[in-house]
Amino acid sequence: MRGLLALSRFLDGVNTFVGRSVSWVILIVVIVSATNAVFRKAFDMSSNAWLELQWYMFGAIFLLASGYTLLKNGHVRVDIINARLSERTQVKIDIFGILVLFLPVCIYILLLSVPQAVDSYLLHETSSNAGGLIRWPVKALIPLGFLLLSAAGVSHLIKCVGFLAGQCPNPNRPEGSKTAEERLADEIAANAQAKTK
C-alpha cells in the first residue's frame, strides 16, 4: 500500500503543478479578451485568430485543471443521500463510481481523442475561418486533459482504498479541513449574524 500511496502523491503533485500553472492562463485570457474587445469597439478591428485564441485558452483552463479540481474535491456532488451515509460507505460508493463509471468514460474519451489530435497534427489542420489558427494544439488538449483527469481518478481510488485499509485519511474530507459547502455555510451564517447585530 505504501508504494501505491507514493504513486498517489506523485499523481497529485503533477495535477497540482498543472492546476496552479493553468491559473496563469486565466490572467492571459482576461488580457487577450479585454484587448480584443477594446480594439473591436474603439478601432473597429477584429481578428479571428484572437477570438480563437480566447476559446483555445478557455479549453485549456477547463481541460487541464479538471484533474486538479477533482484532487481538491471542487467538483459538483449531489450529496442529498450520500451525506447521510457513513464515511466508509461514502468511500465505497466513490470506489464503485471510479471503477465502473469515471475511469471507463475517461479512458474511452482519451482513446477516441488521441487519433483525432494526431490526425490534426499530421494534416496541419487549420481553422476554416479567415485568419484562424492551427487546430492540433486545441485538439491535443483533449487527451491531455483526460489523461490528467484519469490520473486524478486513479490517485483518488488509491486514497479511498488506503482509507478503508486504515492507511490514510478520508480523501473526501481531509482531517482538519472543511468542505467548500461547509465554508460557504459558515460564511452565510456569519453574514446573517453580522446583519442582526
Report yes or no: 180 and 137 within 8 Å, Cβ to Cβ: no
Report yes or no: 132 and 46 within 8 Å, Cβ to Cβ: no
Report yes or no: 139 and 113 within 8 Å, Cβ to Cβ: yes
Domain residue extents for the chain? 2-173
Burial of 153 (0-12, 13-18, 19+ CB in 10 A): buried
Phi, psi of 31 (to 5 degrees): -65, -45
CA-based nearest residue to 64, from 125, 9, 16, 117: 16
The maximal CA–CA distance of the chain, rounded, in angstroms, is 67
Report yes or no: 8 and 155 within 8 Å, Cβ to Cβ: yes
Report yes or no: 106 and 69 within 8 Å, Cβ to Cβ: no
Question: Partners of 134 in the beta sheet?
Answer: 126
User: Which residues, including other chains, have CB under 8 Å from residue 103's CB and lie 6 or more apart?
Assistant: 150, 153, 154, 157
Report yes or no: 152 and 116 within 8 Å, Cβ to Cβ: no
User: Which residues, including other chains, have CB under 8 Å from residue 114's CB and lie 6 or more apart?
Assistant: 143
Per-position pLDDT tens, the chain of length 197: 778 888 888 988 898 899 899 988 989 988 888 888 888 888 877 777 778 888 888 889 989 999 888 888 877 777 777 777 788 888 888 899 899 999 999 999 999 999 999 998 898 887 777 777 788 888 899 999 999 999 999 998 999 888 888 888 878 775 556 666 667 778 888 888 888 76
Q: pTM of the entire structure?
A: 0.77
Residue 93 half-sphere exposure, CB side, CA atoms within 13 Å?
14
Report yes or no: 120 and 139 within 8 Å, Cβ to Cβ: yes
